[in-house]
């Protein structure tokens, strides 16, 4: 699909579908530009509004065919909601709505007429993201695609000026989100630690990134007993992935993004129960978003050095598996009594965080499908955010806001560390059920000494049960857009 920014006005545009976004309260008779367009289309817009009782409510739409002599075949009206609530963010979901209608109507050419907000480049970026993300369909595991293919070949963004850069930015970000979605959606027999490392390798090749893969022996040499304790039960080799983007010119900032990379989480010997285990291919959502962010950032080329890290493996059962009660020693020397092998993500992240801090970065952000408790607290659309650094928390919240992704800041309540105290080791890996996402964050905090750090628990939003906004049912690619915005900010 080609997205173009053109100076054509809706009055002059010829093609199959013309989509017009309107604020709430639109009524007939129409006024201004709208009236002129309505006249040109023989009153079709006014008719559509009154017949369909279209009022411009957010998320609403109305479609009609136009007479055969008209320069456009279909008119699509979409509602933006109240003008006072209009944000750049609205454009992503609006474009997604239009894209879904265009697909259903089998349109090959489409134009979008959207009221101005922000800069033309920002508008083009948001619209591009929304179009690509809504139309993304994953047929990799079907022998024959049953879904109708999208025919849409060209989309003209009207009246934004010459802002191809905005389209290019939106495309890079959408590609990153889509990579994350496809990694998360792929089953655990397709995406393993080995294939994640291969994905990192292809990104490195394609975009000229530096790549270091630490094999099991390398991890042993670094004393990563916590990560390797989890990896032991797998018949596949663990891979510690360290991909680096370095700017060509001067470097303004140096940061690390660390993603939980459990390609499957069976729970280990404190096995998960039925109902909990079936979806655990998505337990590499953090690693998926880390690589997705790398794909976008490598194309957007900010003046920020970014380290993308994931300690990838799977949590399995075997005669070699770590047992409940085993004590592991992490690469910072701290000892952990594993009272629950299903709290494995934090064990892998512990060594990844220690590794990240040694890189002397200015900030570390980890993202992990870490706890069911976070889903209980915030539901499946909002991620949890914990940070030792108020500025970093503010930056991430702003980045998420622009990204149309939601996070809620949670407390790093030090008193709750009491629940992780072990009589025999420095700490246990699991605290009481109550406040489970907070004790998980406190556990991670033991592995970052002084670098500003934030932890994102994304167990809920990495997956969507049904289509909504730019998300299709399935993997969402959350929070690639937040990470990219944060790095670029
Ligand atoms: N991968 C899970 C967390 C999870 C749960 C992600 C539901 C997505 C949906 C994690 O490894 C886990 O098993 N956490 C346990 C921790 C508990 C044993 C302290 C949990 O949340 O139950
Ligand atoms: Mn687990
Ligand atoms: Zn897990």
Tens digits of residue pLDDT in 23-78: 999 988 898 888 999 998 889 999 999 999 999 999 999 999 998 888 899 999 99
Distances (CA, A) of 383 to 250, 281, 465: 33, 19, 16
- Dihedral (CA of 242, 245, 249, 254) sign: negative
Q: What are the pLDDT digits (tens) for 172-195?
A: 999 999 999 999 999 999 999 999
pLDDT at 429: 98
pLDDT at 80: 98
Question: Is pLDDT of 150 > 90?
Answer: no
Q: Which of 311, 339, 342, 344 to mutate to test the pocket of ligand 1 (most atoms within 8 A of CB)?
A: 342
Question: Is pLDDT of 146 > 80?
Answer: no
Question: Is pLDDT of 143 > 80?
Answer: yes
Percent over 90 (pLDDT), the chain: 93
Q: What are the pLDDT digits (tens) for 437-487?
A: 999 999 999 999 999 999 999 999 999 999 999 999 999 999 999 999 999
Query: Mean pLDDT throughout 251-262?
Result: 98
Centre of ligand 2 to C-alpha 284, Å, is 11
Spell out which residues have Cβ within 5 A of ligand 3, the ion: 262, 265, 283, 345
What structural domains does the chain harbor?
Answer: 2-139+151-159 (3.40.220.10), 171-488 (3.40.630.10)
Centre of ligand 2 to C-alpha 303, Å, is 37
Atom of ligand 1 nearest to the CA of 371: 21
Helix 193-207 crosses helix 285-300 at what angle (to 10 degrees)?
A: 0
Ligand 1 contacts CB of residue 459 (under 6 A): yes
CB 104 within 8 A of CB 79: no
Question: What confidence category does residue 162 fall into, taking pLDDT thresholds of 50, 70 and 90?
Answer: confident
272 is catalytic: yes
Which tokens hold the place of 149?
Answer: 């293919």
Ligand 1 contacts CB of residue 373 (under 6 A): yes
pLDDT at 27: 87
pLDDT at 103: 96
Q: Which amino acid residue places its CA nearest to atom 8 of ligand 1? A: 459
pLDDT at 31: 87
Question: Is pLDDT of 273 > 90?
Answer: no
Q: How many of the other CB atoms lie within 10 Å of CB of 453?
A: 27
pLDDT at 460: 98
Q: What are the pLDDT digits (tens) for 275-285?
A: 789 999 999 99
Question: What confidence category does residue 250 fall into, taking pLDDT thresholds of 50, 70 and 90?
Answer: very high
DSSP 29: S
Q: Which of 74, 92, 281, 346 is catalytic?
A: 346
pLDDT at 46: 94
Q: Which amino acid residue places its CA nearest to atom 16 of ligand 1? A: 343
Instruction: Specify the residue for token string 């957010």.
Output: 58
Q: What are the pLDDT digits (tens) for 366-381?
A: 999 999 999 999 999 9
Ligand 1 contacts CB of residue 430 (under 6 A): yes
Ligand 1 contacts CB of residue 314 (under 6 A): no
Q: What are the pLDDT digits (tens) for 102-121?
A: 999 999 999 999 999 999 99
Q: What pTM was estimated for this model as a whole?
A: 0.98
Q: Which amino acid residue places its CA nearest to atom 13 of ligand 1? A: 342
CB 296 within 8 A of CB 204: no
Instruction: Specify the residue for token string 């663990």.
Output: 238
Question: Is pLDDT of 148 > 90?
Answer: no
40 is catalytic: no
């Amino acid at each position: 699909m080609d997205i173009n920014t053109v100076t054509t006005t809706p009055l002059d545009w010829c093609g199959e579908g013309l989509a017009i976004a309107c604020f709430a309260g639109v009524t007939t008779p129409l006024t201004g530009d709208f009236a002129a367009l309505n006249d040109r289309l023989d009153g079709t817009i006014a008719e559509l509004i009154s017949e369909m009782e279209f009022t411009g409510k957010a998320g609403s739409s109305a479609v009609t065919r136009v007479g055969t002599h008209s320069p456009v075949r279909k008119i699509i009206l979409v509602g933006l909601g109240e003008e006072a609530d209009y944000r750049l963010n609205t454009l992503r979901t609006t474009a997604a709505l239009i894209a879904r209608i265009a697909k259903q109507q089998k349109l090959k050419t489409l134009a979008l007429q959207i009221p101005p907000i922000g800069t033309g480049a920002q508008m083009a970026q948001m619209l591009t993201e929304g179009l690509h993300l809504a139309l993304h369909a994953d047929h990799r595991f079907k022998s024959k695609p049953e879904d109708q293919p999208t025919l849409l070949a060209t989309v003209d963004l009207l009246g934004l000026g010459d802002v191809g850069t905005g389209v290019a930015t939106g495309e890079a970000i959408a590609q990153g989100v889509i990579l994350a979605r496809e990694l998360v959606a792929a089953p655990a027999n397709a995406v393993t630690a080995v294939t994640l490392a291969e994905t990192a390798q292809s990104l490195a090749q394609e975009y000229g990134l530096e790549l270091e893969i630490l094999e099991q022996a390398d991890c042993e040499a670094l004393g990563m007993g916590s990560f390797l304790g989890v990896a032991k039960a797998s018949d596949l080799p663990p891979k510690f992935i360290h991909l680096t983007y370095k700017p060509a010119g001067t470097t303004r900032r140096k940061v690390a993004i660390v993603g939980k990379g459990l390609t499957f989480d069976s729970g280990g010997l404190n096995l998960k129960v039925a109902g909990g285990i079936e979806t655990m291919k998505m337990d590499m959502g953090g690693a998926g978003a880390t690589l997705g962010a790398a794909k976008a950032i490598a194309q957007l080329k900010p003046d920020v050095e970014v380290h993308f890290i994931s300690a990838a493996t799977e949590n399995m059962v075997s005669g070699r598996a770590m047992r409940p009660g085993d004590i592991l020693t992490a690469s910072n020397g701290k000892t952990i009594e594993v009272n629950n092998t299903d709290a494995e993500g934090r064990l892998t992240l512990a060594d990844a965080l220690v590794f990240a801090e040694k890189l002397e970065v200015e900030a570390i952000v980890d993202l992990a499908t870490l706890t069911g408790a976070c889903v209980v607290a915030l539901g499946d659309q909002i991620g949890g955010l914990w940070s030792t650094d108020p500025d970093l928390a503010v930056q991430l919240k702003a980045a998420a806001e622009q990204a149309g992704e939601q996070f809620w800041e949670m407390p790093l309540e030090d008193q709750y560390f009491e629940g992780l105290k072990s009589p025999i080791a420095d700490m246990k890996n699991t605290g009481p059920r109550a406040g489970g996402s907070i004790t998980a964050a406190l556990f991670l905090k033991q592995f970052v000494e002084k670098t500003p750090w934030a932890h994102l628990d994304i167990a809920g939003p990495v997956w969507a049960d049904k289509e909504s906004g730019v998300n299709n049912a399935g993997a969402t690619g959350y929070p690639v857009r937040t990470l990219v915005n944060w790095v670029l900010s």
